[in-house]
């Protein structure tokens, strides 16, 4: 098994206090020390999945790993991934700047996105970002203009939509024709000709595609490789070019619940490398961009249990238990109907008899009826003050968090070898109003 096939971090155990421990740190004690809600990242699990990827592709040296930063981008996470030999796929000036300030070699960074601003492109050029994934005609013209103004050249990949509809939630499909991302295959010749004839400050190096996220069907990746390899070969032959880079994106799924059966990383590597070996075209540089599968399993979120209620639905009792977080620190259930697994950190499942479990719905604290973190999960009897641990929250939780209801964003800690370190400070009330301004005519 590879780490993406685990629900819990690889260091999760029940300690001698009969509490759940991760990274050698008691989760109840972490909640007491740092407060809740609290994001917790297990360093051993994070490094473990990085090494799963490196080991899986060790016999295919052309493949380079690039972390999809949008899943979770903090300075400490960037440092760990840099140490593990990963480059970075970024989609905003904020991600680019975070990577830069974390002392990363910027030649290992790609700037991706469907509507990059002039300011973002200028920053990326000034910081010597290694590659730009050009998404559309407008961006190609704008990037060439800015590069010409600065007297530099930008190395680019063309982002393509290969027409692959992988079986995942429609909001996280990106490779189908009806997508906001990239050039469809009927537009490739037009943009290639424009770059060759007009955009002298753009160096076309290859192509880029990303077909979606939380993908379980490995055949989709093989199909993508086939399409991209054939397209590179066709472009090179028609225009006398020597495109030699192919970025196949990421998207491998993870195990949120027992019903999820994601493939392991070795199987992914086999599908990709076998597809590559089928073709004689020489592509010296191949990039893979895992994001969710790198960070998700290493993360858990801790909440403190508060109020509860029961409702009678035609004789059936439904139990709601509320926690001190919800859709602002994890919007995925309300956006994607995402499902999660959880335990009570101070009452581990393995120590509770089956007849003491009850079905409950975990509700958030925010003023929306749809603020439900987990709908109907079997847990030991919950009481106010219990610490709920929701597993597999490393990806797209903090990175999509908001201040809805004017609530402060949670802190994040990194745990390893019985040590915990704050890597994102908890927001304060003063942080919340730090960017507010009151016009002088309204001041008292």
Q: CA quadruple 385, 9, 422, 396: dihedral positive or negative? A: negative
Burial of 14 (0-12, 13-18, 19+ CB in 10 A): middle
Burial of 103 (0-12, 13-18, 19+ CB in 10 A): exposed
DSSP string, 128-177: T-SEEEE-SHHHHHHHHHHHHHHT--EEEEEEEE-----SS-GGGB-SSS
Dihedral angle over CA of 68, 74, 78, 81, nearest 10:
-70
Within 10 A of 105 (CB to CB), how many other CB atoms are there?
12
- Bridge partners of residue 14, in order along the sequence: 20
Q: Is 367 an annotated catalytic residue?
A: yes
C-alpha to C-alpha distance for 80 and 43, rounded to whole angstroms: 8
- Name the active-site residue from 103, 166, 261, 367: 367
Assign 369 to helix, strand or coil. Answer: coil
Q: What six digits make up the tokens of 337?
A: 């109907």
C-alpha to C-alpha distance for 266 and 41, rounded to whole angstroms: 24
C-alpha to C-alpha distance for 91 and 114, rounded to whole angstroms: 9
Q: Any idea which residues carry the catalytic annotation? A: 367
């Amino acid at each position: 098994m590879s780490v993406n096939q685990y629900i819990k971090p690889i260091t999760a155990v029940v300690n001698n206090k009969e509490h759940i421990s991760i990274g050698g740190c008691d989760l109840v004690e972490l909640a007491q020390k740092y407060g809740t809600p609290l994001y917790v990242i297990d360093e051993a699990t994070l490094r473990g999945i990085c090494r799963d990827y490196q080991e899986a592709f060790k016999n295919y040296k052309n493949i380079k790993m690039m972390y999809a930063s949008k899943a979770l981008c903090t300075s400490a996470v960037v440092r760990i991934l840099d140490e593990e030999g990963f480059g970075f796929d970024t989609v905003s000036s904020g991600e680019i700047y975070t990577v830069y300030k974390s002392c990363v070699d910027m030649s290992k960074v790609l700037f991706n996105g469907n509507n990059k601003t002039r300011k973002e492109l200028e920053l990326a050029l000034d910081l010597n970002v290694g590659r730009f994934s050009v998404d559309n005609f407008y961006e190609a013209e704008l990037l060439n203009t800015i590069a010409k103004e600065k007297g530099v050249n930008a190395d680019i990949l063309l982002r393509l939509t290969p027409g692959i509809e992988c079986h995942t939630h429609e909001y996280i499909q990106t490779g189908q024709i009806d997508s906001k991302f990239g050039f469809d295959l009927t537009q490739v010749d037009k943009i290639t000709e424009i770059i060759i004839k007009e955009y002298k400050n753009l160096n076309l190096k290859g192509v880029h595609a990303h077909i979606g996220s939380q993908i379980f069907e490995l055949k989709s990746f093989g199909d993508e490789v086939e399409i991209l390899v054939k397209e590179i070969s066709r472009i090179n032959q028609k225009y006398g070019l020597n495109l030699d880079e192919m970025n196949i994106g990421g998207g491998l799924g993870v195990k949120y619940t027992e019903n999820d059966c994601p493939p392991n990383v070795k199987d992914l590597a086999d599908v990709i490398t076998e597809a590559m070996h089928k073709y004689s075209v020489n592509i010296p540089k191949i990039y893979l961009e895992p994001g969710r599968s790198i960070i998700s399993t290493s993360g858990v979120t801790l909440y403190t249990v508060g109020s509860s209620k029961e409702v009678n639905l035609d004789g059936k009792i439904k139990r709601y238990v509320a926690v001190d977080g919800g859709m602002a620190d994890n919007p995925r259930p309300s956006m994607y109907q995402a499902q999660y697994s959880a335990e009570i950190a101070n009452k581990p499942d393995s120590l509770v008899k089956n007849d003491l479990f009850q079905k409950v719905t975990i509700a958030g604290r925010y003023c929306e009826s749809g603020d439900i973190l987990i709908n109907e999960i079997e847990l030991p009897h919950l009481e106010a003050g219990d610490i709920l641990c929701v597993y597999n929250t490393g990806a797209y939780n903090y990175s999509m968090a908001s201040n809805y209801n004017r609530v402060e964003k949670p802190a994040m800690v990194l745990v390893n070898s019985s040590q915990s370190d704050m890597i994102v400070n908890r927001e304060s009330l003063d942080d919340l109003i730090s960017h507010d301004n009151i016009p002088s005519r309204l001041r008292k």
